[in-house]
A and B are shown apart, each in its own frame.
Chain A
Amino acid sequence: MELYELTAHELSDLIKDKKASAVEITESLLNRIEETENKVESYLTVCKEEALAKAKEVQARIDKGEAKSPLAGIPMALKDNMCTEGIATTCGSKMLENFIPPYSATVVKKLAEEDAILLGKLNMDEFAMGGSNENSYFKKTKNPWDLERVPGGSSGGSAASVASGQAVFSLGSDTGGSIRQPAAFCGVVGMKPTYGTVSRFGLVAFASSLDQIGPLTKDVTDCALVLNAITGHDKMDSTSADIQYPDYTKALLNDVKGMKIGYPKEYLGKGISEDVKKAVLDAIDTYKSLGAECEEFSLPITEYAIPAYYLIACAEASSNLARYDGIKYGYRAAKYTDLLDLYKQTRSEGFGAEVKRRIMLGTYALSSGYYDAYYKKALQVRTIIKQEFDKAFSKYDFIIGPTTPTTAFKLGEKTANPLEMYLEDIYTVSVNIAGLPGLVVPCGKDSKGLPIGLQLIGKPFDESTLLRAGYTFEQNTEYHKMRPQI
């Protein structure tokens, strides 16, 4: 086995036992990137020299017994919408092609404090809008399981890099499924934590009330390790939850006996592919066989989640993306007649089609005369969605279901009809609207050999139950050991 194939906790053990150094591990990852990047195209920036220098420095401190974090010396990469001081942060957009932040996001600082090694910045759909990475201005990341297919999105680079051994773990961001859907498509573990659990300070905003940073890892144990590093109250983020954060590794128990699990019938209804449905039902059987009680229930609001989601997300985005005006940073059009034209030319040339479409929809929903009919209505539906989940959680410890209706689709297959693309998010958006944690673990392959992801949805701030259930699933199945051949 090569070092790049291992998980963070396996590598951490090797480091502890002095069987591998942070430098050797980092070199292994950098070589893997070099070998596979022309096929997978996960990275927008690779920080080779900085990573090696940091690995040397960290190893020296590990040798002195100073760097004790389980993530010390572990090479990782970040979605390119997290600000890194001195390193380009593009959001996959022409608008920010040359933007070099003067500050670092809170998560970036936290990982640095843990002595994790930053390998580089990962490709994404422009401003995290999309589900295939085809909306990146720079490149189209491929699914490592089938290079003709998409890795999912918007954290496509984050999922593809971990799946192909180009990063031990990565961070993504999830506004409507952007961690979970690519994790499912690429066969890795992905967690969207409860809203407010991971600081958003330094995460370039898409939809402020929905965005949340989370880890993409090779197994559930790594997920818990990374959560331990990145969660916590942050004074720089007013929406950060000031609570007692648990040690997530304590949740890693192989035991679901007596747990009550609900699965919404709306998540296994029309539109879902047979392969995905079968894999989810098999997973439910696995839980039953391990002593959990599984029960079907109804979440009738599901069909209204997508319209509510797109209204809220686009309205917030239209305001969040207004600052890209060619004045303070980023792209400025070469030709313009006056100030108004500078704004319009810059934004028309700097943003891609999907971003413009969502800005248009959001601006429309907030404009005079439409606010009550659209934005306010969506916020009311949000209340109902939250109430339906509350009701479900009064009966169940967690909810289980598919992540996506299908497995990874082909590049170009769904670019023609934006609405159709939006409908793909049916199983993921509710979790963001209600602010809940969602964990995706691999649970099988379809007939084409493409991975399928099982989604576990938890009560607010109850990541631990999801980790425990995910860990138990892993201990009793082999899906998390699947690796693509590139």
Chain B
Amino acid sequence: MKVTKETIEHVANLARLNLTEQEKEKLTTEMEDIISYVDKLNELDTSGVSPTAHVIPIKNVFREDEAKASYDREKILANAPSTENGCFKVPKVVE
């Protein structure tokens, strides 16, 4: 599988990463190495094999619908880099 610089840029944008030109070049080679290697899986015929998302057979795990006390706001906001009026603060969002 050929990995292009454009692919790296697209994926980095999806993952919200800024990459320097150097990083892009390095990652292009490394990703191509790794992806060529994982393409090894194509040697296996998996038609008709169902995918396993959960390795142990658990189903129907539920909580009763009971409201309990929430946390103090100070605790929720304590680790935030920027807050204002009891809220998390971010740069202005433009829709």
Whether A and B touch (Cβ < 8 Å) is answered with: yes
Complex: how many Å from CA A377 to CA B76? 39
Q: Are B54 and A381 in contact (CB under 8 A)?
A: no
A297 at the interface (CB under 8 A from B): no
Question: Which B43-95 residues have a C-beta within 8 angstroms of A?
Answer: 43-44, 46, 49-56, 58, 61, 63, 71, 75-76, 78-82, 88, 90-94
Q: With a CB–CB cut-off of 8 A, which chain B residues contact A241?
A: 56, 58
Q: Are A102 and B51 in contact (CB under 8 A)?
A: no
Q: With a CB–CB cut-off of 8 A, which chain A residues contact B14?
A: 363, 367
Look across to chain A and name the residue whose beta carbon is closest to the beta carbon of B51.
A379
Q: Are B17 and A386 in contact (CB under 8 A)?
A: no
A36 at the interface (CB under 8 A from B): no
Total B residues in contact with A, Cβ cutoff 8 Å: 52
Q: With a CB–CB cut-off of 8 A, which chain A residues contact B53?
A: 209, 379
Minimum distance in angstroms from B57 CB to a CB of chain A? 10
Q: Are B75 and A238 in contact (CB under 8 A)?
A: no
Q: Are B18 and A360 in contact (CB under 8 A)?
A: no
Q: Are A239 and B11 in contact (CB under 8 A)?
A: no
Look across to chain B and name the residue whose beta carbon is closest to the beta carbon of A419.
B33
**A327-B90, A348-B17 as given contacts; A98 in contact with B51, CB under 8 Å:** no
**A194-B56, A339-B93, A357-B30 as given contacts; A384 in contact with B44, CB under 8 Å:** yes
Question: Which B14-43 residues have a C-beta within 8 angstroms of A?
Answer: 14-19, 23, 27, 30-31, 33-35, 37-43
Complex: how many Å from CA A433 to CA B53? 10
Contact indicator per residue, chain A 422-451, by CB within 8 Å of chain B (1) or not (0)? 100000000001110000000000000000
Look across to chain B and name the residue whose beta carbon is closest to the beta carbon of A338.
B91
Minimum distance in angstroms from B41 CB to a CB of chain A? 5
Most buried by A among B27, B37, B39, B81: B81
Look across to chain B and name the residue whose beta carbon is closest to the beta carbon of A331.
B81
Complex: how many Å from CA A311 to CA B41? 11
**A360-B17, A418-B30 as given contacts; A379 in contact with B78, CB under 8 Å:** no
Minimum distance in angstroms from B64 CB to a CB of chain A? 10
Total cross-chain contacts (CB, 8 A)? 157
Total A residues in contact with B, Cβ cutoff 8 Å: 67
Q: Are A342 and B17 in contact (CB under 8 A)?
A: no
Q: Are A307 and B52 in contact (CB under 8 A)?
A: no
Q: Are B37 and A434 in contact (CB under 8 A)?
A: no
Q: Contact check: which of A308, A327, A332, A338 meets B41 at CB < 8 Å? A: A308
Complex: how many Å from CA A43 to CA B15? 31
Look across to chain A and name the residue whose beta carbon is closest to the beta carbon of B8.
A360
**A102-B78, A235-B63, A332-B81 as given contacts; A376 in contact with B17, CB under 8 Å:** no
Look across to chain A and name the residue whose beta carbon is closest to the beta carbon of B3.
A364
Q: Contact check: which of A194, A311, A326, A460 meets B81 at CB < 8 Å? A: A326
Q: Are B71 and A102 in contact (CB under 8 A)?
A: yes
Contact indicator per residue, chain A 337-376, by CB within 8 Å of chain B (1) or not (0)? 0111111110110010000110111011001000000101
Q: Are A364 and B55 in contact (CB under 8 A)?
A: no
A383 at the interface (CB under 8 A from B): yes
Complex: how many Å from CA A196 to CA B79? 30
Q: With a CB–CB cut-off of 8 A, which chain B residues contact A376?
A: 51
Q: Are A383 and B49 in contact (CB under 8 A)?
A: yes
Q: Contact check: which of B18, B34, B76 meets A418 at CB < 8 Å? A: B34
Complex: how many Å from CA A427 to CA B15? 31
Complex: how many Å from CA A328 to CA B50? 38
Minimum distance in angstroms from B95 CB to a CB of chain A? 11
Look across to chain A and name the residue whose beta carbon is closest to the beta carbon of B62.
A238
Question: Which A93-132 residues have a C-beta within 8 angstroms of B?
Answer: 98-100, 102
Q: Are B51 and A329 in contact (CB under 8 A)?
A: no
A310 at the interface (CB under 8 A from B): yes
Q: With a CB–CB cut-off of 8 A, which chain A residues contact B90?
A: 327, 339, 342
Look across to chain B and name the residue whose beta carbon is closest to the beta carbon of A324.
B16
Look across to chain A and name the residue whose beta carbon is closest to the beta carbon of B49.
A380
Q: With a CB–CB cut-off of 8 A, which chain A residues contact B19?
A: 348
Most buried by B among A242, A338, A360, A377: A360
Q: With a CB–CB cut-off of 8 A, which chain B residues contact A377?
A: 41-42, 46
Q: Are B18 and A433 in contact (CB under 8 A)?
A: no
Q: Contact check: which of A239, A307, A359 meets B40 at CB < 8 Å? A: A307
Minimum distance in angstroms from B86 CB to a CB of chain A? 14
**A241-B58, A386-B52, A418-B30 as given contacts; A345 in contact with B80, CB under 8 Å:** no
User: 6 pairs across A/B with beta carbons < 8 Å?
Assistant: A327-B88, A332-B81, A332-B82, A344-B17, A363-B14, A380-B50
Q: Lowest 9 A-B CB distances belong to which pairs?
A: A379-B51, A435-B55, A329-B79, A332-B81, A307-B38, A380-B46, A102-B75, A343-B16, A238-B61
- B-side residues, CB < 8 A to A, are 7-8, 10-12, 14-19, 23, 27, 30-31, 33-35, 37-44, 46, 49-56, 58, 61, 63, 71, 75-76, 78-82, 88, 90-94
- A-side residues, CB < 8 A to B, are 98-100, 102, 194-196, 209, 235, 238-239, 241-242, 303-304, 307-308, 310-311, 318, 322, 325-332, 336, 338-345, 347-348, 351, 356-357, 359-361, 363-364, 367, 374, 376-384, 386, 418-419, 422, 433-435, 460
